[in-house]
């Protein structure tokens, strides 16, 4: 059995069969006009006969660009990361790029390096990394590569090209809203503290409480899931002093709502609840959920804009913060009142 049959064919095999140099094969693949028609036909026939599939990088040698970017993310069903992935894809397409994604079961150094190598073979011009937790961020930052990287959903203080919502400001908006309604004992349900967003939202809640002269109570830990919010809500329902809860995402806020209902604590008359993200279901809950909206479309556009600038050689870039927006609904009201009574 011939060597070209026992392994995947390479450019040299095509050149040998067509009776030309590998440089000529490369010029045919990249559409060079200087090739004689009969030579081009021999090369194309050899490619067809061998089943040769040119590497994307080879096809871009002459053109100089692939108009393709890579996206590396972890396999996640969380609303934030999946929304960012979708909007980055959309923004890339609108900017004239194709996007090739690699979803990792977990962000390890070996897995990340393999993902970068895979995308490099596809001749991507740059890579967007959707990295929310510390391990993912550290792996992304540690990779030394010739490709420009933009990190989304990470800690904006630890990478040069980073895009994300201003989580501290969003948490302060939520906390200030509750204090303006007259709440003093405002509990906080955190996300996992190995996520930069979780720490930032806890920081914003704590800073706003302290700025108003209130002593923050010990936050309750969650893991972004509705189940963890439910467990936190059951514990908080036992504290009669708590009149408001700020949860670090909407899923946990949904769990808090269920727990308070089961404990006989009315929302918002007995306890106001505020979330973060503005998931599509938030306005259809009973009561509709007050929350902090992230502009995921703006995050996607900014990520692609920053990556495009980096691809063009721009080096003077700073991390970009997207302003959040407080969406007030019926789950928050002054202590002892419903939203309809307050308005």
Domains 3-63 and 68-165+296-322 agree in fold? no
Q: Locate the domains of the chain by residue range.
A: 3-63, 68-165+296-322, 167-293+326-342
The predicted structure's pLDDT at residue 308: 87
Using CA of residue 31, residue 36, residue 37, residue 40, what is the dihedral sign? negative
The predicted structure's pLDDT at residue 149: 86
Q: How far apart are CA 250 and CA 46, in angstroms?
A: 58
Q: Are 310 and 148 within 8 A, CB to CB?
A: yes
Query: What is the mean pLDDT of the segment spanning 74-78?
Result: 78
Looking at per-residue confidence, does 271 or 152 come out higher? 271
Q: How far apart are CA 146 and CA 126, in angstroms?
A: 9
CATH (one of 3.40.50.2300, 3.90.1150.10, 1.10.3720.10, 1.10.260.40) for 3-63: 1.10.260.40
The predicted structure's pLDDT at residue 159: 67
Residue 4, pLDDT above cutoff 50:
no
Instruction: Encode 93-108: b = buried (16+ Cβ within 10 Å), e = exposed.
Output: eeeebebbbbebeebe
- Measured CA distances, 74 to 183, 239, 260, 326 (Å): 38, 37, 33, 28
Query: What is the mean pLDDT of the segment spanning 56-74?
Result: 67
Q: For strand 290-293 and strand 325-327, is the pairing parallel, antiparallel, or unpaired?
A: antiparallel
pLDDT band at 30 (very low <50, low <70, confident <90, very high): low
Taking domain 167-293+326-342, whether its CATH number is 3.90.245.10 is answered by: no
- Measured CA distances, 99 to 43, 124, 219, 281 (Å): 30, 9, 40, 29
The helix-helix angle for 22-29 and 11-18 (nearest 10°) equals: 110
Looking at per-residue confidence, does 141 or 255 come out higher? 255
**Model's pTM, two decimal places?**
0.76
Query: What is the mean pLDDT of the segment spanning 291-318?
Result: 87
The domain covering 68-165+296-322 belongs, at the CATH homologous superfamily level, to Response regulator (3.40.50.2300)
Count, residues in the chain:
343
Residue 59, pLDDT above cutoff 50:
no
């Amino acid at each position: 059995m011939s060597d070209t049959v026992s392994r995947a064919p390479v450019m040299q095999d095509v050149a040998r069969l067509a009776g030309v140099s590998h440089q000529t094969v490369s010029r045919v693949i990249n559409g060079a006009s200087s090739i004689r028609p009969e030579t081009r036909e021999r090369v194309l026939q050899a490619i067809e006969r061998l089943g040769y599939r040119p590497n994307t990088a080879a096809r871009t040698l002459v053109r100089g660009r692939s108009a393709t970017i890579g996206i590396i993310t972890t396999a996640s069903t969380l609303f934030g990361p999946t929304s960012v992935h979708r909007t980055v894809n959309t923004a890339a397409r609108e900017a004239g790029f194709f996007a090739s994604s690699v979803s990792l079961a977990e962000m390890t150094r070996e897995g990340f390096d393999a993902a970068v190598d895979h995308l490099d073979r596809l001749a991507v011009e740059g890579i967007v990394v959707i990295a929310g937790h510390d391990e993912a961020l550290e792996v992304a930052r540690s990779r030394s590569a010739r490709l420009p990287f933009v990190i989304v959903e990470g800690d904006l203080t630890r990478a040069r090209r980073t895009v994300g919502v201003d989580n501290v400001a969003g948490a302060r908006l939520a906390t200030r809203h509750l204090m303006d309604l007259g709440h003093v004992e405002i509990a906080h349900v955190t996300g996992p503290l190995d996520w930069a967003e979780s720490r930032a939202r806890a920081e914003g809640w704590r800073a706003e409480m302290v700025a108003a002269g209130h002593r923050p109570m010990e936050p309750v830990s969650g893991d972004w899931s509705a189940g963890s919010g439910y467990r936190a809500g059951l514990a908080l329902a036992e504290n009669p002093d708590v009149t408001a809860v700020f949860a670090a995402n909407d899923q946990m806020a949904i769990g808090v709502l269920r727990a308070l209902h089961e404990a006989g604590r009315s929302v918002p008359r007995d306890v106001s609840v505020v979330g973060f993200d503005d998931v599509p279901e938030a306005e259809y809950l009973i009561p509709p959920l007050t929350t902090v909206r992230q502009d995921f479309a703006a995050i996607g556009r900014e990520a692609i804009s920053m990556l495009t600038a980096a691809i063009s050689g721009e080096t003077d870039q700073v991390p970009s913060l997207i302003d959040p927006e407080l969406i007030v609904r019926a789950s928050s009201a002054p202590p002892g009142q419903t939203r309809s009574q307050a308005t």
